[in-house]
Amino acid sequence: MSIVTVQLGQCGNQVGHELFDLLCSDAQQGQRKLYSTASCERFFHQTAHGELVARAVLVDMEPKVINQSISRAVKGGRWRYGESSHFSQKQGSGNNWANGYCVHGPRHRDVVEELVRREVERCDRLAGLMAMMSVAGGTGSGVGTYVTQCLRDIYPKSFILNHLTWPYGTGEVIVQNYNSVLTLAHLYQLSDAILVHENDTVHRICSQLLNIKHISFSDVNRVIAHQLGSIMQPALTADSHGVYSRNPLGELVSALTCHPEYKLLSVCTIPQMSSSSIAYSAFSWPGLLKHLRQMLISNTKMEEGIDWQVRPPAGSERTRSLTGPSFNTSLANLLILRGKDVYSAETGGFEDPALYTSWLPSEEAFNLWKSPVPFNKYEKSATLVSNSQALLRPLDNMVGKAWNMFASRAYIHQYIKFGISEEDFLDSFTSLEQVISSYSQLC
393 vs 409, beta carbon nearer another protein: 409
CB of 177 to another protein, least distance (A): 9
Q: CB of 81 within 8 A of CB of 70?
A: yes
Strand partners, 60: 88
Nearest to 431 by CA among 259, 184, 136, 101: 184
49 vs 413, beta carbon nearer another protein: 413
CB of 89 to another protein, least distance (A): 8
Distance CA 296, CA 299 (A): 5
Residue 108's contacts (CB-CB under 8 Å, 6 or more residues apart) are 87, 89, 143
**Strand pairing category for 330-339 and 380-388:** antiparallel
CB of 212 to another protein, least distance (A): 8
* SS3 at position 28: coil
Strand partners, 58: 7, 86
89 vs 323, beta carbon nearer another protein: 89
28 vs 414, beta carbon nearer another protein: 414
155 vs 168, beta carbon nearer another protein: 168
CB of 70 to another protein, least distance (A): 13
253 vs 432, beta carbon nearer another protein: 432
CB of 176 to another protein, least distance (A): 9
Helix 33-43 vs helix 9-27: crossing angle, to nearest 10: 160
Q: CB of 46 within 8 A of CB of 122?
A: no
Secondary structure of the chain: what % helix, strand, coil (to 5)? 45, 20, 35
Q: CB of 115 within 8 A of CB of 58?
A: no
CB of 415 to another protein, least distance (A): 9
Strand partners, 128: 3
Q: CB of 92 within 8 A of CB of 61?
A: yes
Is the preceding omega at residue 271 within 30 degrees of 0, hence cis?
Answer: yes
- Provide the binding-site residues for another protein, judged by CB under 8 A: 10, 14, 62-65, 68, 89-92, 94-96, 138, 168-175, 203, 207, 214-218, 220, 399-401, 403-411, 413-414, 429-430, 433-434, 437, 441
CB of 375 to another protein, least distance (A): 27
39 vs 177, beta carbon nearer another protein: 177
187 vs 432, beta carbon nearer another protein: 432
CB of 433 to another protein, least distance (A): 5
